[in-house]
Copies of this chain bind each other. A is one copy, B any other.
Amino acid sequence: MNAPLRVSPGPAPPGLLTVMKGQCGDCNTGGLCLSTGLDSGSKMRFDRLVGQHRRIAAGDTLYRTGQPLRSLYALRCGFFKIRRPGPAGDQITGFPMAGELLGLEAVGTGIHQSDAIALEDSIVCELPFAALERLFEDIPGLHRRFYRLMSCEINREQHLMLLLGHMRAEQRMATFLADMGAAYAARGYSPAQFQLRMSREDIGSYLGLTIESISRLLGRFTKLGLITVDKRAVVLTDPQRIAEMASGFSPCSPMV
């Protein structure tokens, strides 16, 4: 990771995202994809599996709760939110970014258990699940990589359970900001300066707080000199103290 840190861009100007028809070799998701670590022969076969690169416009839905699982989706570039309907209102369970794999919650039942909604114009690699399962038999490292990714997802969610179950609002927000920074950092962007792609309402649902609380917390953090906020552009001016408030976060990346 020696490239200079970039600030994560704002919303893409419409029309910029012409179809990228490259293969996995061109992929810039930087070691986060399912295919990472495969030898070149296996990678070619994995390439052939990828049905197509689908372009999803901001606001569009990739899959919905109740739909049968056809494909998993590797997020090539863009930004999603995952929404799970529940008896007490919907919950946002995650904000996947480039390189992440979408749809794992459907593998157990064959039915999607949540909605995936693009927060900006995005491109996904479609991985037909039946074909992927067949490929597991042939490519030795792939299925290992697959269930390790799932285990990491389990950890991500347990991290969130901790947040929702045992943190107060302030600590939740600090954790959220720190996590976002870490996610950007993992992709070569600045960990301290980024665009929020989601609305305050989405953040609220994600953190188990109301939109008003989110607003107040951002205001309070600003007054404390921890951050500056301008609409959805955030700068962590004191990342260390934010990390201290969040205190104890450790990301989970799979062994390759």
Residue numbers of A with Cβ under 8 A of B are 84, 86-91, 93, 104-110, 113-114, 133, 136-137, 140, 143-144, 146-155, 157-158, 160-162, 164-168, 171, 205-208, 246-249, 252-255
Contact = CB atoms under 8 A, between A and B. Distances in A.
Contact of A164 (B108, B152, B154, B161): B161
B162 A84 contact: yes
Contacts of A158: 84, 91, 93, 105, 113-114, 157
A181 B226 CA distance: 47
B162 A91 contact: yes
A211 to B, nearest CB: 14
Contacts of A133: 144
Contacts of A162: 84, 86, 88, 91
B107 A164 contact: no
A155 B252 contact: no
A93 to B, nearest CB: 5
Q: Is the interface of A mostly helix, strand, loop or mixed?
A: helix
A107 B146 CA distance: 11
Given A143-B136, A150-B147, A208-B166, A155 B88 contact: no
B107 A147 contact: yes
Contacts of A150: 107-108, 147, 150-151, 154
Nearest to A69: B151
A151 to B, nearest CB: 3
Given A88-B167, A89-B166, A147-B107, A154 B155 contact: no
Given A154-B157, A162-B91, A86 B146 contact: no
Contacts of A248: 86-87
A190 to B, nearest CB: 24
A25 to B, nearest CB: 26
A108 B247 contact: no
13 contacts: A86-B166, A91-B166, A104-B154, A105-B155, A107-B147, A108-B255, A109-B254, A110-B255, A113-B252, A136-B143, A147-B147, A164-B164, A166-B208
Nearest to A254: B108
A247 B87 contact: yes
A246 B87 CA distance: 8
